Structure 1
Amino acid sequence: MPVSASGLKDAVSKGLLREEQLTPLLSHLRDWDAAHGQQPRFDFTHLLYYLGGLIAIGAMSLFMNLGWEEFGGWGIVGLCAIYALAGLLLTNRFRDKGYLIPAGICAAFVLTLTPLAVYGFQQGMGWWPDDTVYREYHRHIKFLWIYMELATLLAGAILLFSYRFPFLMMPVAVTLWYMAMDLAELVLENGFGWQERRMFTCWFGLGITLFALWVDIRARRSLDYAFWLYLFGVLAFWGGLTAQHSDSELNKFLYFCMSVSLIGCGAVLMRKVFVVFGAIGCCLYLGHLANEVFKDSWLFPIALTFIGLGIIYLGILWQKNEQDITVSVRRFLPASIRDLLEARHG
């Protein structure tokens, strides 16, 4: 669990810690966090890190314009090589200085150059099949992107083996998501409509989520390598599920039950991404009930109010008995999940 300065001061006031121990202990914790901490925090320093990193990554991916096409295929490869070399130099320098979050962001920047470099290589070799340009990579689903995606996954494996930075999983997760859509374009193009494509995305998201759980279990005693896989896996699964169209109220209720199950999974695994998307799904279903099923009922808002207050009361009961409930629930979980939760959260 996180340790804060106010928490330690409170321990001093209660006699659990001597006052002369407080200052050296806080200094030690700050030094240790600077040397070993790779977990992102919501503070101004980390906001600057990620803002700068995402702008640099976006410049070489989402915001790539047609100006680079003027350099030709081999020119693009050369420019990517220069950028990659600079990124690796910064990665090593930041790592050696103990700035692990900026080092991980720079390594991720290098990884995001891979699809652009492969695109330039294919252009230079004359292997590019049509007049599609790189800027469409992030906008359109096409099977011809598959070589760029495979190369990115290979480069991601090499960089992860070399540096072990969790943020490298972010471009890996995005690439897996893109690959799912491009494979759907290949597999489902003959006689299949959007319904089948949505189902493909849904099942692929479920697979990525299960893969994230496996990664989480394997890396339970190290850094959090599963966060970005969970994020994009749950997003794909929930997005594919939410995009389904049905006029059946039973199917819509099952969607609501699935959303509640996501919240339950998030509570058990201590992962907020499940809770966020599950809560959005619940709100969408309740909105459907309010706008369609109980459109002219004055009792429905009143009932929802009492349901909301009841959930708040359940939250109070949970807070009072959280430890006992947690111990009871964990008894029914597989041993691997229990070990994961114990290692991550105690």
Structure 2
Amino acid sequence: MSDDSTPAPERGQRLQIHWGQLQAAARAGDISMEQAERLWARWAGQAIAPARFGFTHVLYYFGGLLAIGAMTLFMTLGWELFGAWGVLLLSVGYAVGAVAVARHLQRRHLHIPAGILATIAVCLVPLAAWSLQSGLGLWPEGGPDSYRDYHRFIDWRWLTLELATLAAAVVMLWWLRLPFMVMPVAVTLWYLNMDLAHMLMQKDGFDWTFTRDVSLVFGLATCAIAVWVDLRSRLASDPRDRQDFAFWLYLFGALMFWCGLSLRESDSELAKAGYAALNVALVFLGAAIGRRVFTVLGAIGVAGYLGYLSYKVFADSLLFPFVLTLLGLGIVALGIWWQRREARIHARLAGWLPAALRPLAQR
């Protein structure tokens, strides 16, 4: 580490330590290799995942989302003046530039803006795929003829764009390993489920019931992928792989599943009770694995069912507003009780998980 002739660093002084230096210290016998890996994992985790979300991060995400929106949601017809090949060159050029800047920021340990720039590159993939297909005359007839409709209309012809986006995102994630890049993957899976439902219907128009059910199935599948990704991240040996890559998959998967479930209509009281029971299970699942999106959606579902029961029992009654008020205050009181005992509840529920899923409960 340091000999007698090397002055000790002053308290509060910043030092830059590289992985090679820790390896050298382990080879010299100053620390064990296990200690070196543990220290590096801790420091790398602190560098990658800041503990506090401050105004700087608001600027990062706000600016990044504006740039992503400009290339996706707010694409105008003016771009079509460049022609398909011109748009292809522009989108590829923007993507290459975004990746180059992302790599530069990553080397400077600015992982959040690096992830945003890399995400912009992924979001340009469907535009490039559309331009390439249009330029080669391979775009199927009978559907949208403008890329700006990609984010507006459901159509099976978008499937090639979505599959290209997913493939590019997987390669980029393997290369750069920046968690925010999973966001376009989750959004694309959402688009994919609607467009695939349109293709399976083999007709124009909109079949609400079929689309709803496909959303439910896709939501379950996306949550299953999120669990797999989460487990791999938590059990990984490389600190770069131990980031939260599953967050966006959990978020969109849970929303697709819960919305598909909640929009189902039933006149059966047993089915409604079953819906409430599933939402209770979501509350406890979210508490067990530390994913609040399940807890929040489950709580909304349970509250909706309790409100339905209150209305059914006290329909056209002066007591209904008072009952609903008491129900709301009771839920607030439950939240206070839960917050005070959250750690113990989490530990107890984590013990109920199957052994293969218990790593998900690690905080």
TM (normalized to structure 2)?
0.79
Q: Residue 182 of structure 1 corresponds to which residue in structure 2? A: 195
Asked whether the equivalents of residues 165 and 185 of structure 2 are also in contact (C-alpha less than 8 Å), the reply is yes
Find out whether 1:137 has 2:176 as its counterpart: no
1:82–1:25 CA distance, 2 compared to 1 (3 A) = same
Q: Residue 170 of structure 2 corresponds to which residue in structure 1? A: 157
Distance 2:342 2:178 in 1: 33
Partner SS, residue 337 of structure 1:
helix
How far the C-alpha of 1:325 sits from its partner, in A, is 4.0
Q: Residue 285 of structure 2 corresponds to which residue in structure 1? A: 265
How far the C-alpha of 1:276 sits from its partner, in A, is 2.2
1:240–1:53 CA distance, 2 compared to 1 (3 A) = same
Structure 1 residues 136-159: Cα deviation after superposition (integer angstroms, max 9, x where no partner)? 111111111111111111100110
Distance 1:26 1:243 in 2: 55
Q: Residue 351 of structure 2 corresponds to which residue in structure 1? A: 331
1:228–1:34 CA distance, 2 compared to 1 (3 A) = closer
How many residue pairs get matched?
Answer: 319
Q: Residue 79 of structure 2 corresponds to which residue in structure 1? A: 68
| 2:70 aligned residue (47, 59, 72) | 59
1:295–1:234 CA distance, 2 compared to 1 (3 A) = same
How far the C-alpha of 1:318 sits from its partner, in A, is 4.3
Distance 2:318 2:14 in 1: 57
Distance 1:234 1:25 in 2: 45
Q: Residue 99 of structure 2 corresponds to which residue in structure 1? A: 88
- Give the stretch that moved more between structures: 155-164 or 300-309: 300-309
Partner SS, residue 250 of structure 1:
helix
How far the C-alpha of 1:241 sits from its partner, in A, is 1.4
Q: Could you tell me the percent identity over the aligned residues? A: 47
- Give the stretch that moved more between structures: 217-226 or 330-339: 330-339
Distance 1:90 1:40 in 2: 24
How far the C-alpha of 1:195 sits from its partner, in A, is 1.4
| 1:252 aligned residue (235, 259, 272) | 272
Structure 2: segments with no counterpart, 5+ residues: 1-10, 17-41, 236-241
| 1:103 aligned residue (114, 135, 152) | 114
Find out whether 1:282 has 2:302 as its counterpart: yes
Structure 1: segments with no counterpart, 5+ residues: 1-22
- Give the stretch that moved more between structures: 223-232 or 246-255: 246-255
Partner SS, residue 279 of structure 2:
helix
Q: Which amino acid aligns with 2:163?
A: L
Find out whether 1:294 has 2:317 as its counterpart: no
Q: Residue 181 of structure 2 corresponds to which residue in structure 1? A: 168
Distance 2:246 2:50 in 1: 12
1:292–1:25 CA distance, 2 compared to 1 (3 A) = farther
Q: Residue 20 of structure 2 corresponds to which residue in structure 1? A: none
1:293–1:56 CA distance, 2 compared to 1 (3 A) = farther
Structure 1 residues 28-70: Cα deviation after superposition (integer angstroms, max 9, x where no partner)? 9xx9589722358532111110000000001111111111111
Asked whether the equivalents of residues 125 and 161 of structure 2 are also in contact (C-alpha less than 8 Å), the reply is yes
| 1:194 aligned residue (208, 213, 220) | 208
- Give the stretch that moved more between structures: 315-324 or 239-248: 315-324
Distance 2:65 2:13 in 1: 34
Structure 1 residues 260-308: Cα deviation after superposition (integer angstroms, max 9, x where no partner)? 2222211111111112222332343344445566332334444445545
Asked whether the equivalents of residues 77 and 121 of structure 1 are also in contact (C-alpha less than 8 Å), the reply is yes
Q: Residue 230 of structure 1 corresponds to which residue in structure 2? A: 250
Asked whether the equivalents of residues 169 and 228 of structure 1 are also in contact (C-alpha less than 8 Å), the reply is yes
How far the C-alpha of 1:239 sits from its partner, in A, is 1.4
Q: Which amino acid aligns with 2:175?
A: S
How far the C-alpha of 1:243 sits from its partner, in A, is 1.9
1:248–1:79 CA distance, 2 compared to 1 (3 A) = same
Asked whether the equivalents of residues 287 and 349 of structure 2 are also in contact (C-alpha less than 8 Å), the reply is no
Asked whether the equivalents of residues 72 and 123 of structure 1 are also in contact (C-alpha less than 8 Å), the reply is no
Partner SS, residue 234 of structure 2:
coil
Distance 1:204 1:258 in 2: 17
Q: Residue 20 of structure 1 corresponds to which residue in structure 2? A: none
Structure 1 residues 115-174: Cα deviation after superposition (integer angstroms, max 9, x where no partner)? 000000011101112352111111111111111111111100110111000011000111
1:39–1:128 CA distance, 2 compared to 1 (3 A) = farther
TM (normalized to structure 1)?
0.83
